[in-house]
Amino acid sequence: MSDNFKAYLAELISTFALCFIGAGAIVTDSFTSGGVGLLGIALAHGLVLSIMVNATGHISGGHVNPAVTFGFMLTKRIAIGKGIGYIVSQLLGGMLAGLALRAIFSPNVWSATHLGTPALNPGVPFLNGIFIEAILTFFLVFTVFATAVDTRAPKNVYGFAIGLVLVFDILMGGPLTGASMNPARTFGPAAAAGYFENHLVYWIGPLLGGAIAALVYHHVLMPKSESQ
């Protein structure tokens, strides 16, 4: 089995876990009439990402997010072809998670939240949604580069540092946009639920924010020896 295939499989499994637990927490919150709550949803996302990044970091780098992979591609830390393979694996993992949730919950339960698909609050315009998602994703990808990529950073905490970004981002942005920060996290349940309203918000915002974070860290904050 090739190393590339192992990396793709690791990305598929880790993204499946993120979407199954994250989106699943939202569906469960609806099922229990608010029993999980915003803090519970934020913790579910943060904890599962922390564990999956630590579990797959030595295999694939633990991207678990097309916005992270896009940042790596822009800074030439991953070849374009391999990066595309990562993104396809992430999207497939997210979709499989959405289908699993659809099989578990009855339609009258999952339809209320479209299987946990992030959505704009009615008071948040399309462009504002992009802006919010871009800022939230900037924090996430910036932290990935600062903790997992930069060799000066301690490596025993990077997974938890990255996961905790999801917690504080969701606590702020969850009620506004769903705080996806991840095209695969949105695409997976959206594809399974057949719900694509304002879907471009969750591609444009995260990819833009991730790209800016990657380029800023790579060209400004990274040691010269690592940014060539």
Structurally, the chain folds into a number of domains equal to 1
Give the pLDDT confidence score for residue 185 in this predicted structure: 98
Amino acid at 139: F
What pLDDT was estimated at residue 226?
67
User: Does residue 105 carry a pLDDT above 60?
Assistant: yes
pLDDT at 75: 97
Q: 15: burial class by Cβ within 10 Å (0-12, 13-18, 19+)? A: buried
CATH code for the domain in which residue 59 is found: 1.20.1080.10
Q: What's the pTM?
A: 0.96
In terms of residue numbers, what domain contains 152?
3-226
Ranges of H-type helices in 111-226: 126-144, 158-177, 183-193, 201-216
pLDDT tens-place string over residues 140-192: 999 999 999 999 998 788 999 999 999 999 999 999 999 999 999 999 999 99
Q: Is the pLDDT of residue 30 over 80?
A: yes
Please, what is the Cα angle at 217 between 203 and 19, to 5 degrees? 35
pLDDT at 228 over 60: no
What is the pLDDT at residue 154? 86
